[in-house]
Copies of this chain bind each other. A is one copy, B any other.
Amino acid sequence: MRETLAEWRPAIDEAIADLVPREVDPEYLEEFFGEPTYEYDSEGIQRALADPLWELLDRGGKRWRAVLFLVFIDAFGEDPADYLQYACIPEILHNGTIIVDDVEDEAAMRRGGPALHHVFDEDIALNAGNAMYFLPLKILTQDHADLPADRRLAAYEMLMDELNRTHLGQGMDICWHNEREVRVTPEQYLEMCACKTGCLGRIVARLAAIITDQPADVEEAVASYAELTAVAFQIGDDILDVENSLGRAGEFGKEFGNDVREGKKTLLVIHAMEESDPETAHRLQELLQDDDNTDEEILEALSILEEAGSIEYARERALGLAAEARGEIADLDFDPETTRKLEEFTEFVIDRDV
């Protein structure tokens, strides 16, 4: 999968640049957004849209949503090169959610630089993030690869299902974040991940299936694969934050004990609350809701998680989800090389360094 990621990346970035060039001018604006009634201000749109978008994309990101889409297109017997524009849909959506989530979470950093709302004014960053929800959806109106009308409608209906659930997931996450109490169940936590992170994965898989006209059961199988993998990825993220903080994984990938400092109700926290004695559970909750933790307090919270066996629990669940994901695609008629790539991907999302 790593080679596939590297191989496709330049072509994907070129396709994104066709949609939103680094330098916008009146001709581009007229072509993409339609004739103005009066007169566009290219200079303003450059700063409000193209600059934030490319600032974020140029910082990195693996473009794995676009590449996974192309892997599916290939698996369904079509030439990925013909569907590069569609690969941009989940990729730009994802980058849009990053900008908006960072505003909502008051994040300081993103991809090794300050979060976008610290580079641009917050209003500009936010509007650019929101614009990136709608820019990619316009791709479907452009008739790339002669997509028939019923497929385009199916794609829109699918996108509306998934993008609605994305906002449910984010709603649950930030709502819990603002609550003192840890009241959520592991099943609700998994649902939050399935909505917030999983739905973008589902878009990747379902879009490839819809565009290449796969039967409903195939579409559902790849969607479940992508959702399960994304949920496993999210739990992997939660584990990584704790492990890196405990110094097990060597150098710190993030700020030390980030999730505890933010008071995130991760699967590990939910598990530890259930498994610890009432006094310890109460102490963990206290540490999470504190706005300013000392490094000692962070380590105290982390060792509560460790002692409750929450790291192992979370790893078991993530591995179980990854196995389930592999099961979803086991019976599909993919060539062995594709199946290998997709299986490898479910492992990568848990056992990664960053």
Contact = CB atoms under 8 A, between A and B. Distances in A.
Interface of A: 29, 33-34, 36-41, 44-45, 47-49, 100, 103-105, 121-124, 126-128, 130-131, 133-135, 137-138, 140-141, 149-150, 152-153, 156-157, 160-161, 163-165, 167-168, 170-172, 174-178, 184-185, 187-188, 190-192, 194, 198, 227
A123 B191 contact: no
A132 to B, nearest CB: 9
5 contacts: A41-B184, A45-B168, A48-B172, A100-B126, A131-B167
A36 B191 contact: yes
A148 B270 CA distance: 47
Contact of A37 (B48, B150, B184, B194): B194
A178 B48 CA distance: 11
Contacts of A153: 149, 152-153, 156
Contacts of A167: 49, 127, 130-131, 134
Nearest to A106: B123
Nearest to A39: B187
- What copy number does this chain have within its complex? 2
B138 A100 contact: no
Nearest to A157: B141
B40 A174 contact: no
Contact of A168 (B33, B100, B137, B152): B33
A122 B138 contact: no
A224 B172 CA distance: 40
Nearest to A105: B123
Contacts of A104: 122-123, 126-127
Nearest to A36: B191
A127 B171 contact: yes
A140 B156 CA distance: 10
A45 B172 contact: yes
Contacts of A133: 130, 133
Given A153-B156, A168-B40, A191-B38, A130 B130 contact: yes
Nearest to A170: B127
Nearest to A149: B153
Contacts of A152: 153
A152 B34 CA distance: 21
A188 B40 CA distance: 6
A174 B127 contact: yes
B175 A39 contact: no
A180 to B, nearest CB: 13
A19 to B, nearest CB: 11
Contact of A121 (B140, B161, B178): B178
Contact of A124 (B123, B130, B174): B174
Contacts of A135: 164
